[in-house]
Structure 1
Amino acid sequence: MSLKNNIQENLLPNHIAIIMDGNGRWAKIRSMARAFGHENGAKAVRQVVEGCAELGVENLTLYAFSTENWNRPKLEVETLMRLLISSLRKEMNTLLDNNIKLCTIGNLNTLPKKVYKELTEVMEKTKLNNRMTLTVALSYGSREELVNTVKEISVKVKNNIISAEKIDESIINEHLYTQNLPDVDLLIRTSGEQRLSNFLLWQIAYAELYFTNTLWPDFSKEDLYQAIIEYQKRERRFGKTSEQIR
């Protein structure tokens, strides 16, 4: 019996974010090049996207490439970019057929022109889809995002567009890459590592964290269901007491 049957539909997380980790180790265990792990990781992406869409999760954000990942070996970076282009082309019909909107966050100006072109084409073709929003974090770093946010708000304060006294959480949210997304409810990280790696540091303030030893290429719909079931067992208090929540 699938774990899907144990999920409470009325308690689904509205926004799931995933740090997809373990592609390299998955390949190393099999004495293969790291690229082999990334290629198989793409299969896990399809599993998770389909699983979330079928359940009714409205927002899914995947950490695909960080600002720090540019420091990896040139061949690996080139492989990742090539896989991104091929995946976008291959999954276009899947996104359209399942009414899924593709968005991206990150410093997209640093991406190769071919990648940027492919991304913008897919986003344009799926912009009216409304079943689920799939956001891919590319060349993304949360600290860079926050620095840019501070700079943008500072310029507006200087030009009297925003009053410094009126700066609050909503103003900051409006200047983040994720301005059109709700806060993260459930953050999943695969491969056994238990750190955030500069991912959505502002947006996960009250997220439930779920760590699994499963390497990303092995992550299946059943693994997704297990994470959601664990999420639904937890009491989310947002700073209040259990008695107040009840």
Structure 2
Amino acid sequence: MLHLKEYLPGLKQGMALDVGTRFGEFAFTLVEAMPEGSRIIGMDCEPETVAQAREKSAGKGVEFMVGDAAHMDFEDGVFELVAISNTLHHIEDYGAVLDEMLRVLRPGGYFMVNEMFSDNQNEAQQTHFEQHTLEAKLDMLSGGFQRPTWKKNEIVDILKRLPLTDVRMVELLEESKMDGKLAEKNAKLVAAVEKKAAGTPDFQTLLDEARHIQARCEKTGIQRCTQLVYIGKKA
């Protein structure tokens, strides 16, 4: 896990926001990075997810709230740090969300995006990429929204239009315990296809894809794709 303090010189006590927080995994990293006395908020659009996060994470220093990241109920410039982690590809109009994150960030505050990418991965990571791609297809069938994983340069192209200074890019590898969770999900891929895609025209194709990925995992193992951490300061 990235030790964020190293990349956030001069970070002041204040409020930090994690957009699309789910159960607060990245928000807890912000707790460690922010100066003592700061307030860390994890925001997600799903009320059920927020309720579960509050229940599971009580006492860990994060406040959870339901909110629309494209239309936040915060005044301009109130946050010392805003972040979004492995959520950008789930957002159809990600430009509106990035602009809104910039609006609520104070001038000189830190803007952070953490997003896994698909290129230049080892064999085990390529297995994760293929698994994630299948999960994106199943998510779309279930009414959700999820793009296939971007390449590194595609993420940079999305972000470089933002008016940020002192930009730093760091590649991040998750702790190995995360790979065990990916392996557990891999073992359930066929069941996931049978649940979410049964009766659809692509059912057999998706089923074959799931079996191929499981066979690949047996051969290569599975490791989380490398992530790009993109950090800059609001001009």
Q: TM-score range by the shorter chain?
A: 0.3 to 0.5
TM-score normalised per structure 1: 0.34
TM-score (norm 2): 0.35
- The structure with more helix, counted as a fraction of residues: 1
Instruction: Point out the structure with the larger strand share.
Output: 2
Greater relative contact order (Cα < 8 A, sep 6+)? 1
